[in-house]
Amino acid sequence: MMMYRSRLGNNLHEITLDYVSSISEDVEIAFYDIVGSQAHTIMLYENKIITKNDAKKILLALESLKKEKFEKKSDVEDIHELIESLVIKKAGLASGGKMHTARSRNDQVSLDIRMKIRDDINVLCQCLLDTIEALVSLAKPHQTTVMPLYTHLQQAQVGFFSHYLLAYADALFRDLDRLYVTYGRVNQSPLGAGPVGGTSIPIDRQSTAKMLGFSGIVENSIDATSARDFVAEYVAAVAILMTNLSRIAEDFSIWSTLEFSFIELSDEFTSPSSVMPQKKNPDMLELTRGKTAEIIGNLTSILTTLKGLSTGYSRDLQQIKSSIWSTSKTAIGTLLVIKLMLMTITVNKSKMKKATESGYLIALDLAEKLVLNGIPFRTAHKVVGKLVQLANLSKKPISKITPSELRESIKGTSIDSKVLSNIIKSTSVNSSLRDRTSEGSSGISEQKRMIEQKMKKINAYREGTNNRDNQVKTTFEKLSKKVKEITK
Ligand code: ARG
């Protein structure tokens, strides 16, 4: 085909063509290239740059291409060349040859990528909301499921499983919000910027932007064609999201070990071993960690491509497209997997509870009770530390401390042994969770409040995401109608 080569003597060598062509990656943006071209054609006609007859022929050709399967065709450089050449073939050069008036592949490719990311963000927001809902739904029946909370993967304080799940609901809400806000910066039209400096032909950029559902245009034509910071921003947001999912995956895979046995993954979520018959491996969770590394790699590759690039389009930018597609695909898949994992796990409440009894999880609660009795925190910390040391020496819980050990622990302080003894007697894992009332804490009352609040938040974001989704859908329906009107 090779339409653009009049200045060049020979056609591309097949080896260079294969090297330069992005056609195999471009299948992902074929649809956007077609609707983008339709909007552009309508604008050219409405501004009397081409005739109705030209527009008709081009639009019909483009419409028929919607059904085309664009498999790897090796004799074109990209989807833009392929679609234009097919339009010329179908509509004839006299009309079809006018489609590429007042635009360039440089504004075109950025336009296509923006429409693709726009749709991907909407899908991701829906998937994120489903995963957050799965977290909150699982939190509901586990508001009284006691478990150890960890720092340094050492037992730290006693808490509830719901509290853990709600922590990731909050983290994923931030991921959701990042994508939600990024959408606004992605949803700007670069079309009509031309190769870099605009055009002398009297186009109307606002009208194409509107027809394609953008909230405005990327004003500066140099910026519109050069910039890919919106891509970096999108992939960065997804990389952060994946990092959060990867940490969930790590926790659940530790908790599914025989040693922990806090949870059991459903059979659909595990892989056997080819040799060890007993194995039930958490491969999906391991792949979540592994795929997260890949997405971080995508971000690194995109930023590295951009950082040294001179202003204006350079072909390096072609390389970042496949990173975008794989980022979206992987993140959507991971969200589906994590959601399903949450919906199908078995939680071993008694194992979790048991783990809270073996250690010294109520140590801080004891110290805080001393503080409430007027003892400086530093002194209380020291006394309880001593208690733990003595109890640990004879491998028993603090509740089994002897009167003489108790006296030893308060030596040199003004603490009354009766007071301390009463505090020890009245403090348990349960009392400690009842007393924890600070906002956002593991306290019993906080679980209910947070769950209710998260459910409201999910509904609000659902509405916003659905509205955006519908907006894009109606935009394309309207465009289709316009095409039908002109071509009838
Ligand atoms: N295939 C190219 C890409 O994906 C399209 C833009 C080509 N523009 C150019 N001036 N060579 O980036």
Tokens 């394609």 belong to which residue? Answer: 212
CA 426 – CA 81 distance, rounded (Å): 78
CA of 195 to the centre of ligand 1 (A): 10
Ligand 1: residue whose CA is nearest its atom 12: 318
Domain range for 213 is 117-144+161-355+450-477
**How much is the pLDDT for 108?**
98
From 6, 152, 350, 438, active-site residue? 152
- Residue 404, judged by CB atoms within 10 A of its CB (0-12, 13-18, 19+), counts as exposed
Kindly state whether residue 263 falls inside one of the protein's structural domains: yes
Both 57 and 93 in one domain: the answer is yes
Ligand 1: residue whose CA is nearest its atom 4: 318
CA of 318 to the centre of ligand 1 (A): 6
| CA 314, chain centre distance (Å) | 28
CA of 151 to the centre of ligand 1 (A): 50
The CATH number of the domain holding residue 78 is: 1.10.275.10
Domain count, the chain: 3
**Which atom of ligand 1 lies closest to the CA of 321?**
4
**Which atom of ligand 1 lies closest to the CA of 22?**
1
The CATH number of the domain holding residue 390 is: 1.10.40.30
Taking the CA of residue 385 as centre, how many other CA atoms within 13 Å lie in the half-sphere pointing to its CB? 6
How many C-beta neighbours within 10 Å does residue 333 have? 14
Sign of the alpha-carbon torsion through 224, 229, 235, 241: negative
Encoded amino acid at 326, one letter: S
**How much is the pLDDT for 74?**
64
Distances in Å between the Cα of 192 and the Cα atoms of 143, 244, 256, 434 are 56, 39, 55, 63
Kind of pairing between the strands at 188-189 and 216-217: parallel
Q: Residue 450's closest CA among 150, 127, 167? A: 167
Both 300 and 166 in one domain: the answer is yes
Kindly state whether residue 440 falls inside one of the protein's structural domains: no
CA of 20 to the centre of ligand 1 (A): 9
Kindly state whether residue 423 falls inside one of the protein's structural domains: yes
Kindly state whether residue 109 falls inside one of the protein's structural domains: no
Both 284 and 326 in one domain: the answer is yes
CA of 93 to the centre of ligand 1 (A): 22
Beta strands in 15-160, from DSSP E residues, in sequence order: 146-151, 154-160
The CATH number of the domain holding residue 312 is: 1.20.200.10
Both 130 and 279 in one domain: the answer is yes
Ligand 1: residue whose CA is nearest its atom 1: 78
Both 289 and 411 in one domain: the answer is no
Kindly state whether residue 18 falls inside one of the protein's structural domains: yes
CA of 108 to the centre of ligand 1 (A): 9
Taking the CA of residue 160 as centre, how many other CA atoms within 13 Å lie in the half-sphere pointing to its CB? 27
Distances in Å between the Cα of 345 and the Cα atoms of 202, 447, 463 are 61, 21, 29
Both 350 and 367 in one domain: the answer is no
Kindly state whether residue 199 falls inside one of the protein's structural domains: yes
Q: Residue 248's closest CA among 122, 126, 132? A: 132
CA of 42 to the centre of ligand 1 (A): 23
Both 384 and 326 in one domain: the answer is no
Q: Which of 80, 306, 310, 323 to mutate to test the pocket of ligand 1 (most atoms within 8 A of CB)?
A: 80
Beta strands in 325-452, from DSSP E residues, in sequence order: 346-347
Ligand 1: residue whose CA is nearest its atom 7: 105
Encoded amino acid at 433, one letter: L
From 74, 266, 271, 273, active-site residue? 273
Both 206 and 330 in one domain: the answer is yes
Q: Which of 33, 313, 319 to mutate to test the pocket of ligand 1 (most atoms within 8 A of CB)?
A: 313
Kindly state whether residue 68 falls inside one of the protein's structural domains: yes
Q: Which of 26, 78, 196 to mutate to test the pocket of ligand 1 (most atoms within 8 A of CB)?
A: 78
CA 82 – CA 68 distance, rounded (Å): 11
Both 347 and 273 in one domain: the answer is yes
**How much is the pLDDT for 49?**
98
What phi and psi, each to the nearest 5 degrees, are found at residue 469?
Answer: -60, -45
**How much is the pLDDT for 9?**
76
**Is 152 marked active-site?**
yes
Provide residues with CB under 6 Å of ligand 1: 22, 78, 80, 105-106, 109, 313, 315, 317-318, 321
- Residue 303, judged by CB atoms within 10 A of its CB (0-12, 13-18, 19+), counts as middle
Both 330 and 459 in one domain: the answer is yes
User: Which helix (H) or strand (E) is 263 found in, with range?
Assistant: strand 263-264
Both 125 and 203 in one domain: the answer is yes
Q: Which of 26, 82, 318, 325 to mutate to test the pocket of ligand 1 (most atoms within 8 A of CB)?
A: 318
- Residue 270, judged by CB atoms within 10 A of its CB (0-12, 13-18, 19+), counts as middle
Q: Residue 105's closest CA among 74, 83, 73? A: 83
CA of 76 to the centre of ligand 1 (A): 12
Tens of pLDDT, residue by residue, the chain (488 residues): 567 777 787 788 888 888 999 999 999 999 999 999 999 999 999 999 999 999 999 999 999 999 998 876 668 999 999 999 999 999 999 999 999 999 999 999 999 999 999 999 999 999 999 999 999 999 999 999 999 999 999 999 999 999 999 999 999 999 999 999 999 999 999 999 999 999 999 999 999 999 999 999 999 999 999 999 999 999 999 999 999 999 999 999 999 999 999 999 988 878 887 878 887 888 999 999 999 999 999 999 999 999 999 999 999 999 999 999 999 999 999 999 999 999 999 999 999 999 998 779 999 999 999 999 999 999 999 999 999 999 999 999 999 999 999 999 999 999 999 999 999 999 999 999 999 999 999 989 899 999 999 999 999 999 999 999 999 999 999 999 999 999 99
Both 421 and 473 in one domain: the answer is no
**Is 445 marked active-site?**
no
How many C-beta neighbours within 10 Å does residue 8 have? 9
**How much is the pLDDT for 439?**
95
